[in-house]
Structure 1
Amino acid sequence: MANVFANSLEISGKATDGKTIAAFPDVCFTPPENPATPPGVPIPYPSFGFASDTENGTGTVKISGKTVNIKNQSDLSKTSGTEAGCAAKKGVITSKNTGKEYYRSWSNNVKFDGEPVIRFTDMATNNHASDVANTPPWIHVLTPAPPGLNCAKILTDCGLQLHAHKDSPCVSPDQSEHMMQNAFFQNTRGGSAGSIAEFPKYSANEAPCICMKGPGNINAASPHGAKTTAQHAFARGCGTTRPTVEAAMKNELNSIKEHHPKINANATHKSAQDQPIADEETRKLALECLEAVIRAYLEYCSGKKGDDLNQTKCRVPWGDKVPGASVSPPSSL
Structure 2
Amino acid sequence: MSMDVLQALEDTARTTLERVGPSVVSIGRSGRGTGYVVGEGRVLTNAHNLRDRTTQVGFTDGRRVQGNVVGSDLDGDLVVLDVDTGDAPALVWGADAARTGDVVLSVTAGGHLLRVTWGQVTGVERGFRGPRGRPVHGALEHTAPAARGSSGAPLLDRAGGVVGVSTHRLEHGFYLARAADAALQEAVAGMQQGRRLEPVRLGVALAPSDVARRLRQAVGLADREGVLVRTVVDGSPADAAGLAVGDLLVGAGGRALHTPDDLIAVLDGLRPGDELRIEVIRGESPTEVTVRFEADDGS
Greater strand content: 2
| Structure with greater contact order relative to length (CA < 8 Å, sep ≥ 6) | 1
Q: Same fold (TM over 0.5)?
A: no
Structure number with larger C-alpha Rg: 2
Query: What is the TM-score with the length of structure 1 in the denominator?
Result: 0.28
